[in-house]
Each structure stands twice: as C-alpha cells, then as structure tokens.
C-alpha cells in the first residue's frame, strides 16, 4: 500500500488515525461495535470504524430533521452553489479519493478516478438543475382561476449503498437531493466504510465553511440492522437503496408497510446480443470490458453474450484470445486489467457458480480459478472465466457478482435473441451489436429489450450521468442520476388560485347558499 501512496491519500481525506477510524462531528460519530476494513488488494487492515447504535441514530435523526428546516428555505440556486463547492472539493481530492476507492473496494485506480469523476459530473448536473426544478402550469376550466404545480423539498432522504460503487451512488442521490432541498442520511456498505467517512469529511468541510448545519449530510455505519433503522422510520419519506435483489425485496416491504417511497437500484443480468451484422472488433472490446471490468462486480457487468450461430465460432475464438491477454493483479498498478473480488466470501460464490454451470451441462472455454502466491495474498484474486451455457440454466438466471461470462447461441431472427435477453427476472442493462438498422430498431422498439438501459454498438456498462439510470422487473424500477430522476426527491403540489370575487365550483356543480 505504501508504494502506491495510500497513507498519503488517507491523510488528505481526513482519515488520520487509520487504526481507530474517524469521523467528523458528534452527530456522525457512532458508539457501537467496530467494523474493521480490510483491503482486498493486499489483505491489510486499512482502518476501523465505529457503528451506529439505535440511540446514536436518534441523535442523527434529530440533527437531520432540524437541519431540514434551514435547508428547505435556502433558495434552490443557493443550494446549488453549495453543491458546486462540493464538486470543486471533489476535483481537488479526486486522486486520493480515487485511490481509496481502488484500495478499499479493489477496482482499478482508473475506475476509482472514473467513479470520482461521476460524482463531479452529477454535481455539475445538479447545479444546473438547482435553477430549474420546474413544474407545469395548466389552464383552469373556471374563469379567473390559475392552476399550476410546484415541487417542494421532501424531507430526510435515507441512502443505502452497495460496496461496488462505494462513493458514486451516494453522490448520485445526495447531489440531487441537496439541490431539491432535502437532507440525507447515508449508510454506506459495511464492506467499504472508509470511503463513506472520506466523503462525509469532504461534505462536512463544505457545509461548515458556509455556516450551514452539519445534519444536511449525515453518515451512519453498520450492516443491514443499521439500514433497517431507516427503512422502518416514518420520519424518512424516501429510502434510496442500491444492492442485491434479496435486499431490495426486504427494503421495499419495510418501506411500503409504512407507505413511504423507495427508490430501488438492484441486481442486473445484462446481455449483449451479437448479430450477423456486428462489428466483431468492437464487440470483443465491449464484451471483455463489460465482463471483466471491476472484476465483474458492476451492476451493469456483461454476464451473457447472445451470439448468432453464423458468427459464434469467430466470436468465441476472439474472446479466448482476448482473455489470454488479461493481466490480473494489484488494481493500483495500471498495467493490470483485473483486480480482486471484494472479499473471500465473494470468491466462494464465484467458485460455486463455476461448479454449478458445469453441473448443469455448461462447458468452460476459459477456465476459472483462484490465484495464489505472491501478489495474491488477500485470497481475493480470481481468473475471469467463460462458459458455453444455456439461458435456462439456474446459474445463468442468477447474478453472480464475479467475472464469469456465459456464451449463449441463437439462430434465426433477432427476435429470438431478444427473447433470450428478456428471459431473466432482472432488467437493468442490455446491448446489441449490429450495423443493421432493422435489428437495432427492433431491439429498441416496444417489443424489444425490456431493460431500463438499452444500447446499440456499445456494451452494457459505463453509463453517463445525463440519462436516468436504473432498471425494470426485479432490478427494482428506480431511476437515479440524470433526466427527470430528481422528481422522486421532491413532493409535488397542485395549486389552484381564484382571483375573482365569485366561487364557481369545478365540474359546474351548483351549491347556492
């Protein structure tokens, strides 16, 4: 870690005593059990963080609800100015934060920097949005009346995030929620708690410099039990939860039982369709990056490649060749393509999936395996694998968060490939590689891909913040980031104003006194 400047990065991010863990300010400081964060890169202890107890949570909640009163009446463009300053701080700290993301989560340094760039991008987007947040005006049926709608701040937003995007998911939510006038309580993944503390430190600096209350940005730490404090609390009108489908089903029920709103960003099972008219070179780059980038731990990772029989062998051979060139190792070393999985529990799930695909009749064309020896001491490094499989295998239907790609064959028309692509419970990201306009338009039509994201001639991963991000079916239906995703962070109100001296009723109803 030393040679890659981790100590220096931690210091720049305000994580000073790495063995005790740290946090700014009283409201964010937990008094519960300690979580130790180990790096999957080299297995070393990075730091310890105190978790949040129920009574700590009460303090955080009080701080958040009282801060909301100040924040909701701060004009939206002024809130945007705070988010602009927050974005500038992220620009200053991009390298140390990107490095911590890489070291604590295990993605490549380049992807760590990319994740911080996404935070900066959403801040820029949110600043522009802070001068908009517009409703509509409509015409009243009654004379001398005016109708319009407006969007008001919602309140305390709870954010529960997954380990694989340990900083960006929070920023997608919080930058929008802040300009919308909400305050946020964030529970980061217990697998990347120091990333949470680093972000909280950055936000706290900005709020403090502007004499704004600390409770606008709150951090709580711990596992699912701490998350449940938020999902069951009716002082939190919106819970935004990113993670597994299993988690989403529990969170959705808890929040719905108190008629709160939830924004769910859950697992994917993303496919690229490769038609006879595909550009094979582009296909291989898109598929390999999609399958092995972040060691297959993106919600948008490519898990299935659905290839037309006429180009199947060409694609298969090119994939095997590309996989032979992959360098696996320390993700902070820019020469490597593939870093570690998050922890040894994830390695066990990877091994189980490889076993299962063979048991179900799949054939490995690029063998997997766990790497041992120098440089792999953490036990978290695995070989990206490819199996020839069938779409209805149990394991193919399931999202394994690891670099395993399933190669599926289709014949006939593109509709047959679309049926396979849609034939899973998840509906996040999808792509088609084709130079044939008819195929592309079929894929994008109402009878085409059923996913929240459908791409032509690019892979399944690597979305930009300008579009709304999220998926259908068991992916949860939520949308974050760009377009009009901001609306879920606000409450909508319809207003009718009568500027006459009469009181006509709607629908012509007569009520004379």
**Residues in touch with ligand NAD (CB under 6 A):** 160-165, 187, 189-190, 223-224, 227-228, 231, 242-244, 247, 250-251, 265-268, 299, 399, 401, 428, 471, 475
DSSP letters, 42-104, are T--EEEEEEPPPHHHHHHHHHHHHHHHHHHHTS-HHHHHHHHHHHHHHHHHTHHHHHHHHHHH
**Residue that is written with structure tokens 């409703």 in the block:** 135
Rounded to 10°, the helix 76-92/94-105 angle is: 70
And the tokens for 513?
């006194």
Rounded to 10°, the helix 76-92/193-209 angle is: 130
Q: Minimum distance between the CB of residue 36 and ligand NAD, rounded to whole angstroms?
A: 16
φ, ψ (nearest 5 deg) of residue 175: -65, -40
Distances from the Cα of 402 to the Cα of 334, 494, 498, angstroms: 20, 47, 61
Q: Minimum distance between the CB of residue 112 and ligand NAD, rounded to whole angstroms?
A: 15
And the tokens for 265?
């960003």
Q: Minimum distance between the CB of residue 300 and ligand NAD, rounded to whole angstroms?
A: 8
82 vs 454 by CB, closer to ligand NAD: 454
**DSSP class of residue 293?**
G
CA 369 distance to own-chain centroid: 28
> Which of 231, 300, 229 has its CA nearest to residue 265?
300
The rounded distance, in Å, linking the Cα atoms of 84 and 405 is 40
Q: Which of 104, 118, 265, 399 is catalytic?
A: 265
Three state DSSP letters for 329-377: CCCCCCCCCECCCCCHHHHHHHHHHHHHHHHCCCEEEECCCECCCCCCC
Q: Is 118 a catalytic residue?
A: no
Other CB atoms within a 10 A radius of the CB of residue 111 amount to 20
Q: Are 240 and 263 in contact (CB under 8 A)?
A: yes
Q: Minimum distance between the CB of residue 358 and ligand NAD, rounded to whole angstroms?
A: 23
Q: Minimum distance between the CB of residue 20 and ligand NAD, rounded to whole angstroms?
A: 22
The rounded distance, in Å, linking the Cα atoms of 434 and 448 is 14
The rounded distance, in Å, linking the Cα atoms of 166 and 389 is 32
And the tokens for 11?
């210091």
Residues in the chain: 513
And the tokens for 210?
């502007």
64 vs 251 by CB, closer to ligand NAD: 251
Q: Minimum distance between the CB of residue 250 and ligand NAD, rounded to whole angstroms?
A: 4
24 vs 189 by CB, closer to ligand NAD: 189
Distances from the Cα of 200 to the Cα of 27, 93, 208, 485, angstroms: 12, 13, 12, 23
φ, ψ (nearest 5 deg) of residue 488: -70, -20
Q: Minimum distance between the CB of residue 350 and ligand NAD, rounded to whole angstroms?
A: 13
Q: Minimum distance between the CB of residue 172 and ligand NAD, rounded to whole angstroms?
A: 9
Q: Minimum distance between the CB of residue 10 and ligand NAD, rounded to whole angstroms?
A: 22
200 vs 275 by CB, closer to ligand NAD: 200
118 vs 277 by CB, closer to ligand NAD: 118
And the tokens for 17?
């005593």
| Active site positions, annotated | 265
């Amino acid at each position: 870690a030393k040679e890659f400047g981790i100590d220096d990065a931690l210091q720049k991010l305000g994580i000073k005593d790495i063995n005790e863990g740290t946090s700014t300010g009283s409201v964010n400081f937990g008094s519960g059990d300690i979580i130790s964060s180990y790096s999957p890169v080299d297995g070393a202890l990075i730091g310890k963080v105190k978790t949040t107890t129920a009574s700590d949570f009460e303090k955080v909640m009080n701080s958040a609800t009282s801060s909301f009163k100040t924040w909701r009446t701060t004009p939206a463009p002024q809130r945007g100015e705070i988010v602009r300053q927050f974005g500038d701080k992220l620009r200053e700290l991009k390298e140390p934060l990107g490095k911590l993301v890489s070291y604590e989560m295990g993605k490549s340094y380049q992807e760590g920097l990319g994740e911080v760039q996404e935070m900066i991008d959403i801040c820029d987007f949110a600043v522009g949005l802070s001068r908009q947040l517009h409703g509509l005006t409509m015409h009243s049926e009654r004379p001398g009346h005016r109708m319009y709608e407006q969007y008001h701040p919602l309140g305390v937003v709870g954010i529960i995030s997954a380990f694989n995007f340990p900083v960006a998911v929070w920023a997608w939510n919080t930058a929008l929620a802040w300009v919308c006038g909400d305050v946020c309580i964030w529970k980061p993944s217990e697998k990347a708690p120091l990333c949470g503390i680093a972000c909280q430190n950055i936000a706290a600096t900005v709020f403090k410099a502007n004499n704004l209350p600390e409770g606008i940005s709150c951090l709580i730490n711990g596992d699912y039990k701490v998350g449940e404090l938020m999902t069951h609390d009716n002082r939190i009108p919106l819970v935004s939860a990113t993670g597994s489908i299993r988690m989403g089903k529990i969170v959705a029920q808890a929040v719905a039982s108190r008629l709160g709103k939830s924004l769910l960003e859950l697992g994917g099972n993303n496919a690229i369709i490769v038609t006879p008219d595909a550009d094979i070179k582009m296909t291989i780059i898109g598929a390999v990056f999609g399958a092995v980038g972040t060691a297959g731990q993106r919600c948008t990772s490519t898990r299935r490649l659905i290839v037309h029989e006429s180009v199947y062998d060409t694609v298969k051979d090119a994939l095997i060749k590309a996989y032979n060139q992959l360098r696996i190792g320390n993700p902070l070393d820019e020469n490597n393509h593939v870093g570690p999985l998050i922890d040894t529990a994830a390695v066990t799930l990877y091994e189980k999936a490889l076993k299962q695909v063979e048991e179900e009749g799949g054939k490995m064309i690029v063998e997997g395996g766990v790497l041992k020896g120098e440089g792999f001491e953490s036990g978290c490094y695995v070989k990206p694998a490819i199996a020839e499989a069938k779409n209805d295998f149990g394991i193919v239907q399931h999202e394994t968060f690891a670099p395993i790609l399933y190669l599926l064959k289709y014949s006939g028309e593109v509709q047959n490939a679309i049926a396979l692509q849609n034939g899973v419970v998840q509906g996040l990201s999808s792509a088609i590689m084709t130079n044939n306009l008819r195929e592309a338009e079929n894929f994008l039509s109402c009878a085409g891909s059923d996913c929240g994201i459908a791409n032509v001639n690019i892979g399944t991963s690597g979305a930009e913040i300008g579009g709304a991000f999220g998926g259908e079916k068991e992916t949860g239906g939520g949308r974050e980031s760009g377009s009009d995703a901001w609306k879920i962070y606000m409450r909508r109100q319809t207003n009718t104003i009568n500027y006459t001296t009469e009181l006509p009723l709607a629908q012509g109803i007569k009520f004379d006194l």
